[in-house]
Amino acid sequence: MLHRTGMARIAAGLAAAALAAACGGTPASPSSPAAAAPVTSPSSPTTGLPSLYSQFYGAQVSLDGASVVLRATSVPDHPSPYFGPGHAQYEPPHAGMVVNPNRILPQDLVLRVPVAPSVTSPSDTPLGPIGVAVNGVALFNQYAAARAPVDAEIPTFDRFNGHPTEIGTYHHHLEPLWLTAQSSSRLIGVLLDGFPVYGTRDADGALPTGLDACNGHVGPTPDFPQGTYHYHITSGPPYIAGCFRGQPGTLG
């Protein structure tokens, strides 16, 4: 679990207005990680899509030229207090949780990511969705509104480390515990630059080493046994990714 110990202490000082604020701010410049060689992804013989996309059960995936198009609603497939009482997926808040006034609402996220990403100079991640998880939930960077550290929002996270914005976009800044509970080395999702995100451990069960400023490195994964550049979930900032290590696609 991430930052569970201090949740109750932080929660006491939160103002209601801060809890209602959507995540936003101004990008900052990352430091440059070491260069890494791109690796071509294996493809499905039936769709032409890289085979890792067969694991995306919460998003519609299609191929459009040199781009993979992912369409998602960012509605989680697990319980949360943010569904609201009376909803089939509602559950009461856990002890110490400070529920923000927002509710989960279906979104119309469309991400176009490179089908064959290559490593480039690092670039900033924007506020808002920087990628999508296999269950269709948006992935955000390590910042809250006004590019403040997300730590002050941690008490508002449900027991799976997610919460919604003012417009109802449920998302993760930290480890998506619903997914990593199934396997700490599993595929979590993909970022806008087309590179995959994996859990807190490498394919061999070891903690990842040599992560660059973007939270990634080159090595084997369950989907790329010969190795590829990929990001890892970590217990401290930037949690998911501190920058894009490939050329980002578009969010529509």
pLDDT at 12 over 80: no
Instruction: Please give the helix or strand (H or E) that residue 9 lies within, else none.
Output: helix 7-11
Per-residue pLDDT tens over the stretch 70-98: 999 999 999 999 999 999 999 999 999 99
The partner residues of 216 in beta bridges, in order of sequence, read 231
Cis peptide bond upstream of 122, omega within 30: no
Tell me: pLDDT of 237 over 60: yes
What's the average model confidence in pLDDT over 173-185?
Answer: 97
Question: Residue 199: is its pLDDT beyond 60?
Answer: yes
Q: Is the whole model's pTM more than 0.75, yes or no?
A: yes
CB of 161 closer than 8 Å to CB of 168: no
**How much is the pLDDT for 36?**
39
Does residue 212 carry a pLDDT above 80? yes
Query: In terms of pLDDT, which residue wins out, 48 or 118?
Result: 118
pLDDT band, residue 252 (cuts 50/70/90): confident
**What per-residue confidence (pLDDT) applies to 166?**
97
Q: What is the pLDDT of residues 129-150, one digit of tens each?
A: 999 999 999 999 999 988 999 9
Residue 178's contacts (CB-CB under 8 Å, 6 or more residues apart) are 76, 77, 78, 135, 160
